[in-house]
Amino acid sequence: MKSQKDLEKPIWDQMRSPSGNPIPGTGSSIRPAPKLMVWLILFVSVTYVVYTLKLVSTSRACDGEREPFSTTHRLSSTSTSVTSNITSEPSVQNQADAHRHIHKHESQELRVQRATEIHHIVFGIAASAKLWNQRKEYIKIWYQPNDMRGVVWLDDSVKSNETDNLPPVKISSDTSQFPYKNNKDIVQPYGSRASNVRWFVMGDDDTVFITENLVRVLRKYDHNQYYYIGSLSESHLQNIYFSYGMAYGGGGFAISYPLAKALVKMQDRCIHRYPGLYGSDDRMQACMAELGVPLTKEFGFHQYDVYGNLFGLLAAHPVTPLVSLHHLDVVEPIFPNMTRVQALQHLMVPKKLDSAALMQQSICYDKRRTWTISVSWGFAVQIFRGIFSPREMEMPSRTFLNWYRRADYTAYAFNTRPVSRNHCQKPFVFYMSKAEFNSTMNQTVSEYARHRIPHPQCRWKMANPAELDTLVIYKKPDPYLWDRSPRRNCCRVLKSKKKGVMEIDVGVCRPGEVSEV
Ligand SMILES: *[C@@H]1O[C@H](CO)[C@@H](O)[C@H](O)[C@H]1NC(C)=O
Ligand SMILES: *[C@@H]1O[C@H](CO)[C@@H](O)[C@H](O)[C@H]1NC(C)=O
Ligand SMILES: *[C@@H]1O[C@H](CO)[C@@H](O)[C@H](O)[C@H]1NC(C)=O
Ligand SMILES: *[C@@H]1O[C@H](CO)[C@@H](O)[C@H](O)[C@H]1NC(C)=O
Ligand SMILES: *[C@@H]1O[C@H](CO)[C@@H](O)[C@H](O)[C@H]1NC(C)=O
């Protein structure tokens, strides 16, 4: 998508002024606080969507952009004081609550009140009507209408009237088609909590969020301050072409509420200063730069500007929570022998058991058989003949092509390694086949089945990993993993009596435990 941006430049230039202008005219009958909210969601979502959908706007765009206005009005009017009380909200609330609770729970209560929860987040999803039937399935994978709020912005009306497990859909160019005439639908599921917006999170229709981890990441930051959080492209050239300081929209990014307010205040001036920028993620960054707010990089947001198979990247995830996956139509399904949607649904099984640990790597060795074992929890395990250092194993293997569809290892903004240097060392891959929680043992049990593909003949006189059919991994759920300093978990090969089965324990490293032979 990004590589086509230069072609779209003339289009952007045409649409720039219509989409920038209508906003000032909308506020006549509105109170100041909702007005701010409106501008905020309007700016953050609509400008973002405008690019992504490659809207060629006409005068209708004015109606389209006015339309969300009533939405946001609702959002803020259900609770009277989103904007005015935003800074004082935690302490005011906590005081009231503290009186209602017995002393023992007081400090706990304060902490709970302050932590960011999923209902503090408003999602804005940019979607294309043409691809809606196919891509809405990605949204259903992660979106929980009862716990979350968000809006899907479509560039055109769609035939499907399906609304199950989807956020309210809005058409940004034609309000008359909009099925949610009554904007209550957007706030209703959240009841009285509706007002409490702390973060706006933007994504595309082919982005899948691991929302538990998104919350874990946002919780680290004070939502009362200016924060612009996201991640870069994998492509060095894309980063040079756009910016190494820009959050890429497809991987998703988060903007704190006060920052969104500040952006809204300056948006027209800022946007008009950058006619040369045609995406919304780069205009966003241009305005951020004017505000002097840098990108806070969180490497769990994944733009995935690559082709081919994500395996190498997913099997060596950085030591940070997995927040999002993007370009899921571009890459192969993440599990073999499944459709893309099935593969992602399959990934949600371990996610439900231990979201913090999803895709987290651990590295250990089978000393007896001199194998290297690399676990990506909930996804896959690789076994290599011979010993590789953790330093090598934590580099992604190049199972993917770059954004220009070439196998060029200089194309990335991070280190990679070849899949194998020697044909004997081609990894044996085991993909997660099932995962469950065993309440007797109080831990998760996940099974990984060997991916049966032909391996080259190997004359090395050592045990062959092909003798294994199944790996079983035991791991205690660890929801507080990311409250501690980042560190890979350790894995240990257990003695197994079952033929063709290897059992592995994954967990917090014991004192003095390191990944070595
Ligand atoms: C918001 O603040 C005003 C005073 O600034 C106060 O009267 C009102 O009760 C507050 N609202 C909430 C929900 O705390
Ligand atoms: C969706 O459309 C079909 C036919 O157009 C109709 O039968 C059905 O009731 C509609 N469903 C909803 C939820 O509006
Ligand atoms: C792939 O799926 C098909 C149909 O679901 C099944 O028959 C086949 O055994 C599967 N192949 C592998 C390698 O799992
Ligand atoms: C849980 O683990 C125990 C001990 O290994 C085993 O006996 C039991 O069958 C397991 N339960 C389930 C539901 O798998
Ligand atoms: C299960 O493990 C959790 C933490 O890992 C612990 O808090 C809990 O007490 C354990 N439950 C049992 C029955 O052992």
Nearest CA to ligand 5 atom 13: 442
* CA of 515 relative to ligand 3 center, distance in Å: 35
Taking CA atoms, 444 is separated from 353, 438, 509, in Å, by: 7, 6, 17
- CB 140: neighbour CB atoms within 10 A? 17
Cβ distance 381 to 473 under 8 Å?
yes
- CB 209: neighbour CB atoms within 10 A? 26
| Ligand 4 neighbour 440 (Cβ under 6 A) | yes
Set out the domains of the chain in order of their start, with CATH numbers. Answer: 2-297 (3.90.550), 353-507 (2.70.130.10)
Q: Residue 474: nearest ligand to its CA?
A: 4
For 52: left if phi > 0, alpha if psi spans -120 to 50, otherwise beta; the answer is: alpha
* CA of 336 relative to ligand 3 center, distance in Å: 9
Alpha helices in 42-190 (DSSP H): 48-52, 60-66, 68-77, 89-100, 106-114, 132-142, 184-187
Q: Residue 162: nearest ligand to its CA?
A: 2
Distance CA 472, CA 284 (A): 46
Q: What is the pLDDT along the chain (517 residues), one digit of tens a residue?
A: 444 443 333 333 333 333 333 333 333 333 445 555 555 565 556 555 544 444 333 333 333 333 333 333 333 333 333 333 333 333 444 444 444 544 545 455 554 457 899 999 999 888 888 999 999 999 999 999 999 999 888 888 888 777 778 998 887 653 332 222 223 333 333 333 446 889 999 899 999 999 999 999 999 999 999 999 999 999 999 899 889 999 998 999 999 999 988 887 776 677 677 766 656 788 788 889 999 999 999 999 999 999 999 999 999 999 999 999 999 999 999 999 999 999 999 999 999 999 999 999 999 999 999 999 999 999 999 999 999 999 999 999 999 988 888 888 888 989 999 998 899 999 999 999 999 999 999 999 999 999 999 999 999 999 999 999 999 999 999 999 999 999 999 999 999 889 999 999 999 999 999 888 8
- Burial (0-12, 13-18, 19+ Cβ within 10 Å), 413: middle
| Ligand 1 neighbour 91 (Cβ under 6 A) | no
pTM: 0.76
Q: Kindly give, in sequence order, each residue whose CB lies less than 8 Å from that of residue 98, ignoring residues fewer than 6 positions away.
A: 106, 109, 110
